[in-house]
Amino acid sequence: MKKESLSDIKALLDEKYFQFNNTAFIETDPISIPHQFSKKEDVEIAGFLVATIAWGQRLSIINNGNKLMRLMNNEPHDFILNFSKKDSLRFENFVHRTFNATDCLFFLNSLKSIYLKHGGLECAFSKNLKGNDLDVKAAITGFRELFLSVPHEHRSEKHISNPSAKSSAKRLCMFLRWMVRHDKHGVDFGLWKAILPSQLCLPLDLHTGNVSRKLGLLKRTQNDWQAVEEITNVLRTFDSKDPIKYDFSLFGLGAFEGFK
């Protein structure tokens, strides 16, 4: 690819970043669920749970995310800290696609362990990072190991992606973008300081993958972790400190403008 065309692509992505990194889009996005809260722990728990179920129709994701919050009395942190067996009954009918009540109860128990024993979600991710880590792969794989240390059924493991097994970990990368990125646009929260925006990886899905390939930024045909590393490395050449701001551009071009 010629430098001129790369320059043109960067200009396009910069333009679309400002267009789509806009609070007007929050209402129709799963990020609307954590935006209902102001307390750090409420925001990150709500964000983590809704990111976990963020596949399928957006309206269904949002509806089920709101349902989860209601089941937690709209106080997710307090509910997690005091979660007990008697609270389990209210979740017995919860289901979002393949994420069912069994998975949900395991997630709540594991989150309780993380907040009571491991310093909360930010620490559970960031403690696995070394100072010279270029990206969040170690943060995600270490978090996964910790999260799965609570007794659970094997079926629930598929809901915590593993980059070491080549998964793109799209939903966890999206959750980390929400928590880590900080700007003045009011969409991402920027609550976590122990992970740098420069270490984030692109949440690679159908839209961001297809648009990246159409623009010639991504050669790998599979949406796996190798592709995540490839496209993220390219985006770092556009903005080394905040490469994942272009998630707004790539997703918006695919989802809202039908760029294929």
The tokens of 141 are what?
A: 């794989």
3-state SS, residue 72: coil
Distance CA(141)–CA(135), nearest Å, equals 12
Query: Are 1 and 31 a contacting pair, CB within 8 Å?
Result: no
- Count other Cβ atoms within 10 Å, centred on residue 98: 12
State the Cα angle at 178 between 172 and 179, rounded to 5°.
90
Per-residue pLDDT tens listing for the chain (260 residues): 444 589 999 999 999 999 999 999 999 999 999 999 999 999 999 999 999 999 999 999 999 999 999 999 999 999 999 999 999 999 999 999 999 999 999 999 999 999 999 999 999 999 999 878 999 999 999 999 999 999 999 999 999 999 999 999 999 999 999 999 999 999 999 999 999 999 999 999 999 999 999 999 999 999 999 999 999 999 999 999 999 999 999 999 999 998 86
Query: Are 180 and 169 a contacting pair, CB within 8 Å?
Result: no
The tokens of 31 are what?
A: 């990020």
Q: 242: part of which helix (H) or strand (E)?
A: none
- Count other Cβ atoms within 10 Å, centred on residue 52: 21
Q: What is the pLDDT of residue 234?
A: 98
How deeply is 118 buried, as exposed, middle or buried, from its count of CB atoms within 10 A (0-12, 13-18, 19+)? middle
pTM of the full structure: 0.96
Q: What is the pLDDT of residue 57?
A: 93
Q: What is the pLDDT of residue 3?
A: 47
The tokens of 253 are what?
A: 């071009």
Distance CA(54)–CA(33), nearest Å, equals 11
